[in-house]
Amino acid sequence: MKSIFDKPSRDEIIGRIAFLNAGSSVQWGKMNVFQMVEHNTYWNGWMLGKDGHTYKQAFLGKVFGKMALRKMIKDEEPFDRNIPTSSQFKAKETTGDLEAEKLKWIALTKAYENYDNPAFIHDFFGKMTKEQIGILVYKHSDHHLRQFGV
C-alpha cells in the first residue's frame, strides 16, 4: 500500500502537484484548483502539527471513526468522489497565488520524510498509527489530484 512516508510515493505526489496549473479543470466537487491546493496546504499543516493546531476527536468520530478509517485505508482503492469536507478545512479564498500555494504543499509533502507529531488526533478517526497516517495522507493527496485530472 502506498504511504506518504515512502520516498517514491512522496515524489509521485510532488510531481503531480507540480503539474497543476490555473487551467486544471475540476472533474467533480465544488472547489476550483486554487481552493483545492489551499485546502491541502492547510490539511497537511494540520497533519504535520504546524501552526499550533489543537486536536480533538468529535463525538461521532468516537462512535464510528475507527470503522470508517479501516474502510478508507484497507486497500489501494481511491477515496470515493464527493466525500464531504469538514468546515475547518474548507478554503477561505477562491483566488490567490497558485504557484506559491503549490510550493507550500510541496514543502509540506517533503516534510513527511521527518514526520513527528505524537499529539496528532484526527477529528473523526481519533488516534492513528504512523502507518495509518502515511496511507491516509497519500490517499487524501491522490484523491484531490485525481479531482483535477493529475
Asked if residue 2 is part of any domain, the answer here is no
Q: What pTM did the predictor assign?
A: 0.95
Exposure b/e, 9-26, CB count within 10 A at least 16 = b: bbebbbebbeebeeebee
- Taking only the tens place, the pLDDT of each residue in 26-74 is 999 999 999 999 999 999 999 999 988 889 999 999 999 999 999 999 9
Structural domain span for residue 35: 7-147
- CATH code assigned at 106: 1.20.120
Output the pLDDT for position 51. Answer: 81
Asked if residue 1 is part of any domain, the answer here is no
Asked if residue 122 is part of any domain, the answer here is yes
Asked if residue 117 is part of any domain, the answer here is yes
Q: How many domains are there within the chain?
A: 1
Q: Which three cell numbers stand for residue 54?
A: 489543537
Asked if residue 142 is part of any domain, the answer here is yes
Asked if residue 65 is part of any domain, the answer here is yes
